[in-house]
Amino acid sequence: MDESHHYHHHEHVHDISNVKAINLYLVILLNFGIAFFEIIGGIFSGSVSLFSDAMHNFSDGISVFISYIALKVQNKKNDEKRTFGYKRSGIVSAFINSLALILISLFIFKEAYEKFLHPSNINSSVIISVAFLAIFANSLGVFLLYKGSKEDMNIKSSYLHLLGDTLSSIGVVVAGVLIFFFHINWVDPLIGALISLYILKESFDILKRSTNILFEGVPNNIDVYKIVEELKKIDGIKDIHHVHIWCLNEKNINFEAHVNIEDVMVSQTKKTLVEIEEKLKKFGINHVTIQFEHNFCNGIGVIKN
């Protein structure tokens, strides 16, 4: 690849990233705008479902904001103070966000339960009007992120959040219509409770995954012993121990281990290292650190504290 072609390729990639960032920024404004109007609408209408949908949109606004930050900092170079770079910033934000959402969803569920036991007058016209506005705004957000979701997992997560928001708002409209025509007021707290349970489920999942990453746990889809047995099939490897597998974020998985090999020259270990890296790539591991040794740590198990 000549220098001119490389420059134009880099410029093209940079332009695509800018478009993605702009679209994410617009979606953030949409989400927070929807949440604001739904909170006001929930207060004036007395609707729990509208208020819970507002919290759903607010939470997804934060999620999209995390995606936006991740997109902006993912190419930021590491330095002498941050040797791993800033890849974990999104994970920390997700952890804090999930804790806040769990508390919010429990509060909404409590409010819905009380409204279910003691129904009050609900202004269905406000519910329907505000929820339709939310559907329109969320649909616009889905359109903005559709193309980027096909080529970027970070964007795809935000895209799926917005699809969920749209369906949630449709549920609120259904509740408003039932209240308007049939005066079934209990359907409002029911929809509110269902939305809060959905937020609770999603938040627990995010909390679990982010906690595992922050504690440098092994990713759920990886079996340490299966990987070790696969690596032992490589010619020249006698034993593998002191294994550590962890991730900086959901895309960057690290592997380090002591590998006991035959007594050979350092230059002869290159072939073995390449084979190890190739096998680990199949497990989604993209950063490998190997300490080659010869009968140095006898009797040490695969996992060592």
What's the pLDDT tens digit per position in 45-57? Answer: 888 888 888 888 8
- Domain termination site, one of 165, 193, 214: 214
The verdict on residue 304 lying in a domain is: no
- Domain termination site, one of 192, 214, 236: 214
H/E segment holding residue 291: strand 287-293
Residues 209 and 276 in one domain: no
**Cα gap 122→162, rounded to integer Å:** 27
Task: Please state, in angstroms and as integers, the Cα–Cα distance from residue 210 to each residue in 165, 218, 267, 268, following that order.
Answer: 22, 12, 40, 40
Q: Mind listing the pLDDT tens digit for each residue in 167-225? A: 888 888 998 999 899 888 888 888 888 888 888 888 888 889 889 999 999 998 899 99
pLDDT value for 74: 65
Residues 100 and 244 in one domain: no
Would you place residue 305 in the very low, low, confident or very high pLDDT band (cuts 50, 70, 90)?
Answer: low
**Cα gap 302→282, rounded to integer Å:** 20
The arithmetic mean of pLDDT across residues 122-146, rounded, is 90
pLDDT value for 56: 80
Number of domains in the chain: 2
Q: Phi and psi dihedrals of 294, rounded to 5?
A: -125, 105
Residues 245 and 182 in one domain: no
Looking at residue 11, its amino acid is E
Tokens of 253: 């998985």
The position carrying tokens 């806040």 is 100
Residues 38 and 66 in one domain: yes
Residues 106 and 160 in one domain: yes
pLDDT value for 271: 92
143: helix, strand or coil: helix
**Cα gap 77→82, rounded to integer Å:** 9
Please check whether residue 227 is in contact with residue 245, taking contact to mean a CB–CB distance below 8 angstroms.
yes
Q: Annotate 25-81 with DSSP letters as a single string.
A: HHHHHHHHHHHHHHHHHHHHHT-HHHHHHHHHHHHHHHHHHHHHHHHHHTTPPP-SS
pLDDT value for 97: 76
Residue 276 is part of which domain span? 224-293
Q: How many helices (H) and strands (E) does the chain have?
A: 8, 3
Which CATH number characterizes residue 23's domain?
1.20.1510.10
Q: Mind listing the pLDDT tens digit for each residue in 233-287? A: 999 899 999 999 999 887 789 999 999 998 888 888 999 999 999 999 999 999 9
Q: Mind listing the pLDDT tens digit for each residue in 62-95? A: 878 877 877 777 667 788 888 888 778 778 877 8
